[in-house]
Amino acid sequence: MNHYKNLIKSILSLLFLFNSVTASALLSQEQQAAKERGISLYKQEKNAERELRIAAEAGDAEAQFYLAQQLRQLELNKALDSKESVKWFVASANQGNLFSLYQLSHNVKLCVIAAFCPEGEKSRGEWDREYRKTLMEKFASNDLQQLGELNDWVAKSDVVGEWFHLQDELRYAKNHRVEDTREWLVHSANQGNFNSLLRLALDDGDKLCTIVENCPKGDKTQREWKSEFEKIAREKIASGDMEAAYLLYVGNSDFNMLIKSAEGGYPFAQYQLAESYSAGDGFFWWFGQRRKEINKWYKRAAENGYPKAMIAYAASIYEYNGDLSISRYWLEESAKVGDSNGIGLLAREYASNPNYYGFPFDMVKAYGLTLLLAGLDNDESDKEYDRERLEEYSKKMTPEQIEQGKAFAEKWKVTHPIEGV
């Protein structure tokens, strides 16, 4: 396990080495020198309290953390009153110091050892939320040096599983946004953000935070959030907001609200209604009536500019032996508004002979459109697929045609938007 641990630690250290340093309070030359001496002494396991206190009292968050660590060691050895280390961890954490946030959120013993928590101080759960939010913010801003230093520091811990637990926390923070935290949602909902209200109305996370008693300030039960969401949604609907009608459908599964939103002209609801009818929802006396409604709502959503509906309408016309000129028109429209799926489907139509919708065989356009897709910021698997298509197409083309395909791609970029560029 140590070999595995050291290997990952080395890789992470190399990654973090090239990133920006964290900010600290402005110190005088003497205070900075005292801080550096103090940290050096601390790392040599010598008493650095006097030197660290100079910079800590000047407001330096890093010095405050090391001073808190020094005092905590003395507290654990019962050589010092237990109250002061918490004070310096809090002062440092309140400036965003990741190490202090880690200690306050992970070390249950801090307040137990101190036998007190400062009046008005945050709970361990509140510190934990602050710590996780800070991790997300650092990933979001590509501020990775302190994350690397935290990784190295925790890797030295003797606590079984602590380093592996940190890896889980880092992975979660890297793959999630600050906007996904319950604390952010609660604050946003209390400021009137309708989408945050919806997410809280659908989320049963309040059960967990109630059990562990760490719900964010201003939080409510799921039932209370849902009631508030529905009240505001109905007010918005009364004023003609058809997106609110769709969100009310999402929030309480009221199919009538989906129909109302679609009839009110909201494109996504129109598309979703067609999808729902296609999946068998709703009642119709005869099959042809269902198909007629499906096409009606796909078409309305397409006419309102929704690319997925354009593609779906083209496919629906083809599937039921309709007018293929309609299918060609809407597939081209989806590509022209920049939808990457539409561009990919159109490229494959041009590259195939025969094809589904009756497009003329045209390798120049197929190559050009695929070249556009290959330049998008997609997953590596998508990029590899597009590169393979380009290689396949180029084998069927002359050098002159390939150059024409490149020119076609450049012209398309000038005259049409492209999703992902």
CA dihedral of residues 45, 51, 57, 60 (deg, nearest 10): -70
Q: Percentage of residues in the chain with pLDDT exceeding 70?
A: 79
Mean pLDDT of 287-301: 93
What is the separation of C-alpha 325 from the centre of its chain, rounded to a whole number of angstroms?
40
**Tokens representing residue 237 in the block:** 């609907």
Confidence of residue 158 (pLDDT cuts 50, 70, 90): low
Using alpha carbons, select from 105, 115, 198, 199 the residue that is nearest to residue 150.
Answer: 105
* CATH architecture classification, 263-415: Alpha Horseshoe (1.25)
> Which 3 state secondary structure label does DSSP give 80?
coil
pLDDT of residue 138 exceeding 50, the answer is yes
pLDDT of residue 23 exceeding 70, the answer is no
Please check whether residue 149 is in contact with residue 15, taking contact to mean a CB–CB distance below 8 angstroms. no
Please check whether residue 63 is in contact with residue 52, taking contact to mean a CB–CB distance below 8 angstroms. yes
**Tokens representing residue 74 in the block:** 């003395």
Count of CB atoms situated within 10 Å of the CB of 274: 25
Please check whether residue 179 is in contact with residue 193, taking contact to mean a CB–CB distance below 8 angstroms. no
Q: What pLDDT score does 150 carry?
A: 81
Please check whether residue 361 is in contact with residue 353, taking contact to mean a CB–CB distance below 8 angstroms. yes
Q: How far apart (Å, rounded) are the C-alpha atoms in residues 210 and 130?
A: 18
Confidence of residue 311 (pLDDT cuts 50, 70, 90): very high
Mean pLDDT of 216-227: 78
pLDDT, tens digit, 9 for 90 and up, residues 324-370: 999 999 999 999 998 989 999 999 999 999 999 999 999 999 999 99
Q: How far apart (Å, rounded) are the C-alpha atoms in residues 366 and 384?
A: 17
Confidence of residue 417 (pLDDT cuts 50, 70, 90): confident
Query: Residue 44 burial (CB < 10 Å; 0-12/13-18/19+)?
Result: exposed
Higher-confidence residue of 118 and 93: namely 93
Q: How far apart (Å, rounded) are the C-alpha atoms in residues 140 and 147?
A: 12
Higher-confidence residue of 49 and 312: namely 312
- Per-position DSSP letters for 394-413, written without gaps between them: HTTS-HHHHHHHHHHHHHHH
CA dihedral of residues 295, 299, 302, 303 (deg, nearest 10): -170
Under DSSP, the state recorded for 17 is: H
Mean pLDDT of 223-232: 86
Q: How does the average pLDDT of the chain come out, rounded?
A: 80
Confidence of residue 94 (pLDDT cuts 50, 70, 90): confident
pLDDT, tens digit, 9 for 90 and up, residues 162-172: 777 777 777 77
Which of the residue ranges 13-27, 182-196, 261-275, 379-393 has the most confident prediction, judged by mean pLDDT?
A: 261-275
Q: How far apart (Å, rounded) are the C-alpha atoms in residues 199 and 286?
A: 38
Using alpha carbons, select from 96, 105, 117, 95 the residue that is nearest to residue 154.
Answer: 105
Give the least confident one: 68-82, 100-114, 187-201, 238-252. Answer: 100-114
Q: How far apart (Å, rounded) are the C-alpha atoms in residues 419 and 421?
A: 6
**Those residues with Cβ within 8 angstroms of residue 108's Cβ, 6 or more apart along the chain or in another chain:** 124
Label residue 217 left, alpha or beta by phi (over 0 means left) and psi (-120 to 50 means alpha). Answer: beta
In Å, the largest CA–CA distance within the chain is 88
Q: How far apart (Å, rounded) are the C-alpha atoms in residues 371 and 404?
A: 12
Q: How far is CA 328 from CA 128, 208, 275, in A?
A: 55, 52, 21
Domain ranges of the chain: 2-180, 185-262, 263-415
Amino acid at 296: K
Mean pLDDT of 382-388: 85
Mean pLDDT of 397-404: 95
pLDDT of residue 109 exceeding 60, the answer is no
Q: How far apart (Å, rounded) are the C-alpha atoms in residues 270 and 246?
A: 10
